Chain A
Amino acid sequence: MANIPADLRYTKEHEYVKQTGADAIVQIGITDYAQGELGDVVYVDLPKVGASFGRGDVFGTIEAVKAVSELYAPLAGTVTEVNQALEGDPALVNRDPYGAGWMLKLRAKNAGELEQLLNSEAYKKQIGQ
């Protein structure tokens, strides 16, 4: 059973969004379910701080040994921070997807978009859990 915390929001492409407490800044990564499906993550290609994305835009790619997947921005916004640790240790995504394996912090352009994302129940339903 994948761990799908109740306090996060989700996309059907398996990204999660966590509110950081700071104004309009959200943390983004992939779900426990997604890391399990991909297997051992070997590389995460992330954008630079300052890059802007529209909702649903591709912001990076994630690679396992025999799979590669694009990463989609759950919300429109501007990158304020990138998880540098993934460069040296991409397996953090496998070990701790909601913690040390986070990918981006984004200043959301439109805070209302958060409400349009899936809640944990809806996401669980999507992955058949």
Chain B
Amino acid sequence: MARSMWRGAIQFGLVTIPVKLYLATEQSGIGFNLLHASCLNRIQMKVYCPHHDEVIPRSETVRGYEWSKGKYVVVTEEDIDSVPLKTMRSIEIELFVKAARENAPTQFVKQAYYLEPEQIGAKAFYLLKSVLAEQNKSAICKIVLKDREQLAALNPFSKTMLLTTLHWPDEIRAMDELNLPEDEIDIKASEKKMAEQLVASMTGEFDADEYADGYRQALMNVIEKKVAGEKPEPQERAAPTNITDLMAALEASVSAARSDRTAVKDEKPKRATRKAKPATAKAAKAAADKSEEPRQRRRKTA
């Protein structure tokens, strides 16, 4: 059973929808431990106080905010609990916006969470979901997670809704230092048409199942071999070949095709000679128009 990491309620207007939050993603990378190279034991990270010149337990640490250079104020759990925010136990919807890609601020995302409605709020939950979906809108909201008020977007997703936390505007870097000469670029109509054709031809349904982390799997194979006591072998690479090899392969293929034809011809000496096909669409049409005429040569050559 999945464990919710937050409980609260979606709030907008006079409507309250109790929900639970679940992490929608997880890190699937391979984790390593740091070992002492000589004994292969795990090393430990000690918390060290340079003022007392001693290692201290984590229980003796507190959180401090540096309000001036070298000056700190201690912030306790009680201080955090006493923060007077409406969003402490609620997902406070501020407004609804078009769920469009060009809505730039909603593209700087941090983390996705699934929402699960409490039984009592299920109807209102799905009512909100259906309206967002039908009107292609996102709800921009605020929520307090991990001691911080977060900006978030709420969107219909499969059988639930997805809450995606966003970066605040002051966390998004300016693009001033990048060289982005969009206004200076002259794109010809033919180039644009070509690009549009490319995009159209490669447009399809995105299926995430078709993609896999190949590096992770390859690394796991190496680890499993080492665990089994085998020495991982370097990946075999074919001996380098060049373009002349490809030409030779093509030549061999032509020879093979020619031999096949000769064999067939020997078996069926009365087989009709292969006729030339109309080369172009125009020629094909002309050939069709003259379909009742004798076809000695179907393709007109220049």
Q: Is B one of A's binding partners? A: no
- Give me the interface of A with B, judged by CB distance under 8 Å: none
